[in-house]
């Protein structure tokens, strides 16, 4: 018999997205369902969800959420995706905003309140609907309080008597830290505010709450799973994680080939497969036209689609640009995020208008075109928990050039490796290492036969969800077993 699983996530495709979490929360549910689980997903009802115009009904249900100093009502809406119900927590004061978490200038000031509200509303709906889940699968700091609630305020609720919690860490650098003076917003007992609980160097830390109180923890690749237990990558939580290493598992994200497959993708001008790549040239032409660059068969097109954040290696890229621009390449970048990076890249594009084009936007359709129309895909990340774009790139015959970190290291093998690899990989986080690797790729691009082989090797790989979903079900089983023992 399959588990009843509630997935609580702060974003999910096709409803709202800023990054990889949305891809996972949108496609893991359907994969779990295929394996016999009953899955229900919870997401905030952002302005973005409303604007998508997807079919969403008002359930008529309103639940009260105790926010420490006041009780706030949540309205519950319901939509579906591939047969999976998605409940939306509506409170316009919190979620009817232009962005999900903050503007290019920084985070919203009331994120603690917003996501405490979301987390508790999820539990209140489970109560109201008597869902009795086996598992509540939480994701990142936004839902990190849920495991703490189940061990404290909701401990005696019969509806949760058999519920175990699992926390997935998609990015440990974002922890949801807030001044201790706001602790009462959570409504949790003060006895939990100590270094063994939610306290982190005097602050309240929501991700830590999830790590400490969940029955199992996962992260999104095996490489990142080891990395986050070290001081270099753990962002201060390495000690807490190491203490729970027996309950911590790295599961590489799957990808949804119903959305990301050049053979069927409806967002690109021509479809293609590993045996007939001819459609890729039409995609390439359209991409260069969109970005205002000249097409030339001999000149490789290097694409990037990225959040503009320090993590993504924008600094070493900017430093490398003068030398990269000496090469016969076209570089197209689609990105949005920190104001300073937006300005830096826009200024560089003005300096090299023949070879570099930057679009500051978050645009799903265009991201598919960059994947399909580029010859190479660049991800010079400082750290990368999983990374999805390199996996999409492999499927699109777009050879990834990545830094060897986290999920990038797990999924990309350098072409010099035995068997020929599937991309290009550099180790040192520096502009020199980046430039050196791009030069190797540009060099190999001239050898049409070797290049075609490299493309085909990547296109034949399979990162679909089935395996990953099975591993999640194993972790759910372990979490339940642990719960029964306590």
Is 358 a binding residue for ligand ADP by CB under 6 A? The answer is no
Q: How far is the CB of 62 from ligand ADP (least distance, A)?
A: 33
Contact in structure between 40 and 6 (CB atoms under 8 Å):
yes
Binder of ligand ADP out of 23, 124, 247, 265 (CB under 6 A): 23
The whole-angstrom separation of Cα 82 and Cα 15 is 13
Is 20 a binding residue for ligand ADP by CB under 6 A? The answer is yes
- Let me know if 408 is exposed, middle or buried by CB neighbors in 10 A (0-12, 13-18, 19+): buried
Binding flags for ligand ADP, 62-81, as an x/- string (CB under 6 A): --------------------
Q: What is the DSSP code string of 11-45?
A: -BTTTB-SSHHHHHHHHHHHHHHHTT-EEEEEEE-
Q: How far is the CB of 361 from ligand ADP (least distance, A)?
A: 6
Hey, which residues between 373 and 402 contact ligand ADP (CB under 6 A)? 386-389
Is 163 a binding residue for ligand ADP by CB under 6 A? The answer is no
Locate 222 and state its tokens: 């095996």
Contact in structure between 5 and 37 (CB atoms under 8 Å):
yes
* 11 φ/ψ angles, rounded to the nearest 5 degrees: -160, 150
Decide whether 29 or 335 has the Cβ nearer to ligand ADP: 335
Neighbours of 110 (CB within 10 A): 15
Is 142 a binding residue for ligand ADP by CB under 6 A? The answer is no
Binding residues with ligand ADP: total (CB under 6 A): 18
Is 19 a binding residue for ligand ADP by CB under 6 A? The answer is yes
Locate 289 and state its tokens: 């036209």
Decide whether 123 or 358 has the Cβ nearer to ligand ADP: 358
Binder of ligand ADP out of 8, 166, 252, 334 (CB under 6 A): 334
Is 367 a binding residue for ligand ADP by CB under 6 A? The answer is yes
Is 162 a binding residue for ligand ADP by CB under 6 A? The answer is no
Sign of CA dihedral 363, 368, 373, 374: positive
Contact in structure between 373 and 286 (CB atoms under 8 Å):
yes
Window of 60-68, 356-364, 426-434, 441-449 that interacts with ligand ADP by CB under 6 A? 356-364
Is 31 a binding residue for ligand ADP by CB under 6 A? The answer is no
Q: Which helix (H) or strand (E) holds 471?
A: helix 465-485
Decide whether 255 or 320 has the Cβ nearer to ligand ADP: 255
Residues in touch with ligand ADP (CB under 6 A): 19-20, 23, 305-307, 334-336, 361-364, 367, 386-389
């Amino acid at each position: 018999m399959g588990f009843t699983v509630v997935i609580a996530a702060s974003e999910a495709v096709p409803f709202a997205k800023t990054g990889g979490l949305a891809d996972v929360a949108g496609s893991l549910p359907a994969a779990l369902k295929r394996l016999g689980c009953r899955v229900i997903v919870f997401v905030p009802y952002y302005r973005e969800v409303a604007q998508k115009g997807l079919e969403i009904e008002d359930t008529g249900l309103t639940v009260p959420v105790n926010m420490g100093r006041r009780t706030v009502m949540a309205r519950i809406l319901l939509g579906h995706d591939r047969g999976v119900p998605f409940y939306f927590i509506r409170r316009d004061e919190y979620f009817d905003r232009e962005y999900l978490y903050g503007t290019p200038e920084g985070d919203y000031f009331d994120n603690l309140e917003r996501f405490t509200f979301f987390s508790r509303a999820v539990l209140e709906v489970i109560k109201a609907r008597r869902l009795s889940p086996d598992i509540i699968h939480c994701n990142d700091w936004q839902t990190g309080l849920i495991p703490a609630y189940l061990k404290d305020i909701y401990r005696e609720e019969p509806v949760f008597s058999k519920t175990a919690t699992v926390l997935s860490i998609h990015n440990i650098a974002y922890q949801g830290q807030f001044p201790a003076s706001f602790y009462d917003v959570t409504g949790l007992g003060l006895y939990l505010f100590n270094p063994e609980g939610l306290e982190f160097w005097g602050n309240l830390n929501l991700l830590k709450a999830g790590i400490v109180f969940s029955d199992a923890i996962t992260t999104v690749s095996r490489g990142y799973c080891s990395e986050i237990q070290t001081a270099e990558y753990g962002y201060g939580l390495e000690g807490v994680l190491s203490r729970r290493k027996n309950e911590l598992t790295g599961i590489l994200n799957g990808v949804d080939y119903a959305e990301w497959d050049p053979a069927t993708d409806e967002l690109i001008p021509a479809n293609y497969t590993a045996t007939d790549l001819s459609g890729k040239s039409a995609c390439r032409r359209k991409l260069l036209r969109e970005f205002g660059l000249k097409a030339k068969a001999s000149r490789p097109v290097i694409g990037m689609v990225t959040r503009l954040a320090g993590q993504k290696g924008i600094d070493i890229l900017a430093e490398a640009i003068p030398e990269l621009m000496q090469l016969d390449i076209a570089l197209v970048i689609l990105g949005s995020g920190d104001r300073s990076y937006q300005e830096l890249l826009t200024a560089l594009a003005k300096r090299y208008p023949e070879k570099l084009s930057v679009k500051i936007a978050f645009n799903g359709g265009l991201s598919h075109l960059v994947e399909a129309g580029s010859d190479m895909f660049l991800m010079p990340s400082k750290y990368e928990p999983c990374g999805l774009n390199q996996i999409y790139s492999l499927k699109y015959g777009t050879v990834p050039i990545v830094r060897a970190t986290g999920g990038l290291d797990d999924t990309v093998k350098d072409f010099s490796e035995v068997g020929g690899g599937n991309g290009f990989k550099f180790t040192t986080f520096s502009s020199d290492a980046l430039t050196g690797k791009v030069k190797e790729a540009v060099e190999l691009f001239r050898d049409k036969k070797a290049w075609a082989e490299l493309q085909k090797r990547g296109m034949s790989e399979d990162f679909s969800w089935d395996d990953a979903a099975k591993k999640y079900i194993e972790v759910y089983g372990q979490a339940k077993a642990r719960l029964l023992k306590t």
